[in-house]
Amino acid sequence: MSLLSSLARLGAGFQQTAESSGAAQPAQKAAQTKTQANAGGKNDDSVTLNGGERPKASTRLAMNSYKSDVGQDSAFVRETLRHKLAEYSLNPATRLAVQKSEGGKLSLEARIPENLRQQIEQDLNNNRGFKEAFGRLSVNEPTLAFVDTALKLNKAYGVNNSLLDTLVSDNQQFNGLGDLVHRYDSLRQTLSAERIEAAGQRRTYAFNLNVQA
């Protein structure tokens, strides 16, 4: 509801209160009060109509809060990988890619000697904090990227995204990042791979590190 509409409704409420308190006054004044109240109701309708459609729930999402949460996990994962490169005396510009294997373990891809790759991969799997942060990222980051891109396209070009509308609840209490992730994951499981990739997302998540990028 627009601010103008809220003010108009508030004004109508005050008029109705005044009318009730003045019921004992002469009939002419009561009739005047009723006429004013009716006029206020008409103005309220006109304000609502002129204000256009109610803003979509997606425009009220707490994007800054979502990005802050995801950013903390992303920074932790990135710094852990950088420390591993330094620990094993590897080129800091080495590209690393971490993803979950089918068995749930972390898998590391890197153009480094195989024995070092296996050792770093084992270190990462033994690091509980890293695994938990990566697990959150693997579900939070794709969801946030999808929502952020859809909102930017809508703002810049007026492009509506039906998938985004499906994700977002009209009740803001149910639009936490975890809520969006749950709904997005459900959509990913039901939609075809073609539609997921057309939306700019992949079914598998990988965290890529390139220090020079």
144-198 pLDDT, tens digit each:
999 999 999 988 888 888 888 888 999 999 999 999 999 998 887 777 555 555 5
User: Does the pLDDT at position 49 exceed 50?
Assistant: no
Q: Are 124 and 98 in contact (CB under 8 A)?
A: yes
- Predicted confidence at residue 4, as pLDDT, reads 36
Strand 206-209 relative to strand 106-110, pairing: unpaired
Banded pLDDT at 109 (limits 50, 70, 90): very high
Pairwise CA distance, residues 68 & 65, whole Å: 5
- Predicted confidence at residue 196, as pLDDT, reads 54
Percent of the chain topping pLDDT 90: 49
**Token couple for 67:** 């990005």
- Predicted confidence at residue 159, as pLDDT, reads 80
- Predicted confidence at residue 21, as pLDDT, reads 46
Q: Are 205 and 189 in contact (CB under 8 A)?
A: no
Q: Are 44 and 9 in contact (CB under 8 A)?
A: yes
Q: Which residue has the higher pLDDT, 123 or 23?
A: 123
Most confident of 26-30, 72-76, 153-157, 185-189: 72-76
- Predicted confidence at residue 2, as pLDDT, reads 41
- Predicted confidence at residue 41, as pLDDT, reads 46
Banded pLDDT at 5 (limits 50, 70, 90): very low
User: Does the pLDDT at position 40 exceed 80?
Assistant: no
- Predicted confidence at residue 135, as pLDDT, reads 94
Lowest average pLDDT, out of 1-10, 59-68, 73-82, goes to: 1-10
DSSP character for 56?
Answer: P
